[in-house]
Amino acid sequence: MDNKLITSVTPEAQAAPQTHEQEQSYLKFFVAAAIFLLVSGLHALIWRLPAVEQWVRGADYGGRMATTLSQTHITVVAFGTITITGLMYYLLPRILGVPLASRTLATVSFWCTAFGVFAFYLALVIMGIWEGNLVHQGYTYFAARFALDGWHQGLLGFAASIMGIGYWTFIWNVISTARAGVHRREAIAADPLPASPGGGGALSLLPSGGALSPLPSGGAGGGSVMRNLIGLGSPVPKGGGEYYYIAKFMVAAAVGLFIGTVQGVIQVLPFFVDWKDKTGTAGDLIDPISHAHINLVGGVVFAMMGFSYYFVPRIVGKPIHSVRLANLSFRFLLVGVFGFYLTLLTLGFIEGNMVVSRGITPAQARDAVGVFHPLFEAFFAALMGLGFWTYIANIFLTLADKRAANADKPEYEWLTPIIGLSCFGLLCGTIQGVIQTLPWSVDWLDAAGDAGEFITPLAHAQLNIIAGVVLSLTAFSFYLIPQIGGRKLFSNTLAKTSLYTILGGAALMYLGFIVLGAGMGPLVQQGDSFAQARAIFPGNFWYYALLITGPSVVGLGYFMYSANIFATVGRTTTATWFGRMMLAFGRSISELVTIYRKAMPRRLAQARPRALTASAVELALPGAGWFISGRPKMGAVLLLTFTGIMFSTVMVVFVMYDRVADIPFLQVIIGYFVFNIISSLVQYFTYMAQVRAHFANRDRL
């Protein structure tokens, strides 16, 4: 065998495929996602309680931050993206026949995403409540925002940066793995190896584990790596190559998430926030509408479609109905979602600048743009719809296929109705999405005011998120987790019940929102206030009954799903993870505070003056004292994290917003010096303890 070929297509350090132990480490993604799903369900129920809902309506944008925005992030980003990351790390190496590019990046992406999104969620809730309370005290929202701008930008910016690191390391890992798969495929096509005795040919000699299928005729096919990967320039693989095409869905999802996260970080910067605040609803085309679509459709839905094309044949025991139709759905959705995204960005900036520079209303700005506003929106929305509908048709045709299953009866055939119903929910949501872009619909929703928001974004978004995305991802998780963990589901009955409960709750929530929007909208259009319309139809009691019932049922389904996941993974496995994590953490801390061998003083009398000097320096500049006492690793950590963030971010925020005289500034300064004192004391005592132990051991010897 040509060793040069082997090393060219598989990195030397990772020549072996993923081990079972490595695949088991991906279980933590599903456990963390289940925890976040519980938070999402509880959050959705709390903010629809009567007292909370009334407070939210009087809190202006602060109320939205504390409710819809924060809940969307904990559901789509925390549950959705973390589940997708675990699924993709497991599937992509199997599809492409190459190991994951970096196990370290996989770990970094998990912890940064989990910590970052939860911090972002808490920041949205805290700042929403804080700013909302000021609005209730008589401030306008902009005045409340200005009063807390330093905190607002600092908290959201910090959390968004950590979340971005998690996303970007995940994206880099996916793209690098995909490129390795394409290079491997091209290398085999350019220099095929003779068949092995087992008849497997070149593929059997490389660590594909049977995942990579024979190449299509025509060799490498030329073109760029990305062009070959997404399948736009090469024929569909024949025979056993039906799973290679799925990789392009995962790469497209990674690109969509990358764009969405870059936009998300930009959106929390002061210059953008100030500009958007002045644009009114025209700026909403950029945030939240374009931002939500590129993340949810361009990222999460693309990944979900790829997972469906991989898992559905295994669940039902039959091949996918049409690979050509799958590729067609990819192309329609690719052009549709990115075209729709660019359209929203362009219209948002054009109309927003009109509002800011000319002093006109957003409606007048839209009229000034003319027919181009609805034309491009409707065109790309229709393409996006075609991508969804060809995918849904492919899944329905696969489920309805009369061909006999590959096995007597697939073990997870009970998931089949759930997949079909999830696709039906996605179908309803996408049809509504296209209708919402039509001019008469836009005018009606605008005239309906807050009542129109029940139809969009609430009904539209919740149906797509819960019935379309959450339901599919939970079903795929139930299929995959037993295979990764090596044990059966704790309870198939509980799994079925949880999935149907989530579906039923999503249906109740959707119908409730549609009824409220359709019933209250005409009353608001006639001149009634929102409160008056609510009292007339459906009445205060039924209003809150409709609001609370759906989320309560969905939350119950989330609870049952999470309980099943926790029980399946098991306390022993979970304890082992956290035990290893804490052990590794303890070792890391021990290594950080250990004195470098050559930095140990020659005489015990030299230790105290050096320790005192280091402590004095540490009081002024955290990290520097650790360098002086011979602990450069701890010094670097403190200088790059605490001290670096303090002077590069926190102080800059205060100076930019002229908050130097405010109490928050004093609190930060006090906190800074308290930390310095603690770090100085820890530095002194750990240094002296190690030096004394060193000389005591030397005297014994």
Rounded to whole angstroms, how far apart are CA atoms 636 and 37?
Answer: 37
Q: How far apart are CA 547 and CA 512, in angstroms?
A: 7
Classify residue 360 by its DSSP letter: -
The rounded distance, in Å, linking the Cα atoms of 477 and 88 is 12
What is the Cα–Cα distance from 38 to 566, expressed in whole angstroms? 12
- Sign of the CA dihedral 360, 361, 364, 365? positive
Q: What is the pLDDT of residue 663?
A: 46
- Token pair recorded at residue 148: 């807390």
Q: What is the DSSP letter of 17?
A: P
Task: Identify the pLDDT of residue 657.
Answer: 52
Residues 626 and 634: their CA atoms lie apart, in Å, by: 6
pLDDT average per 10 residues of sequence, the chain (701 residues): 34 46 84 94 92 91 90 90 94 88 88 92 93 92 85 83 88 90 77 45 34 36 44 39 79 91 80 83 86 89 93 90 93 94 92 89 88 88 92 94 63 91 92 84 89 90 91 95 87 95 95 94 93 92 93 95 90 60 69 84 88 89 88 83 65 53 61 85 91 85 65
The predicted pLDDT at position 8 comes to 32
Could you please report the per-residue DSSP string of 179-224?
Answer: HHHHHHHHHHHHSPPPPPTTS-HHHHHTT-TT-SPPPPTTTT--S-
**Integer Cα distance of 510 and 508 in angstroms:** 5
Please give the torsion angle defined by the CA atoms of residues 567, 573, 576 and 577, in that order, rounded to the nearest 10 degrees: -90
Closest CA to 576 of 21, 163, 10: 21
Mapped onto helix, strand or coil, the DSSP state of residue 321 is coil
How many CA atoms lie less than 13 Å away from 232 in the CB half-sphere? 14
Q: d(Cα 10, Cα 346) in Å, to the nearest integer?
A: 42
pLDDT at 559: 96
Q: Which domains does the chain have, with CATH numbers?
A: 1-193 (1.20.210.10), 235-406 (1.20.210.10), 417-447+461-593 (no CATH), 597-700 (no CATH)
What global pTM score does this model have?
0.75
Q: What's residue 162's pLDDT? A: 87
Contact of 163 with 112, CB cutoff 8 Å: yes
Residues constituting the chain? 701
Distant-in-sequence, close-in-space partners of 277: CB < 8 Å, separation ≥ 6: 142, 145, 283
- Which has the closest alpha carbon to 334: 358, 309, 305, 310? 305
Question: In one letter, which amino acid is 405?
Answer: A
Q: Smallest Cα–Cα separation from 619: which of 667, 689, 674, 688?
A: 674
- Residue 238 has what pLDDT? 39
Gyration radius of the chain over CA positions: 28
Give pLDDT, residue 415: 93
pLDDT for 338: 94
How many CB atoms sit inside 10 A of residue 4's CB?
10
Phi-psi region of 192 (alpha: psi -120 to 50; beta: other; left: phi over 0): beta
Task: Determine how many CB atoms are found less than 10 A away from the CB of residue 58.
Answer: 11
Alpha helices for 359-491 (secondary structure H): 362-369, 372-400, 416-435, 439-448, 460-462, 471-485
Closest CA to 641 of 653, 650, 654: 650
Contacting residues for 309 by C-beta, under 8 A, at least 6 apart: 245, 246, 249, 320, 326, 394
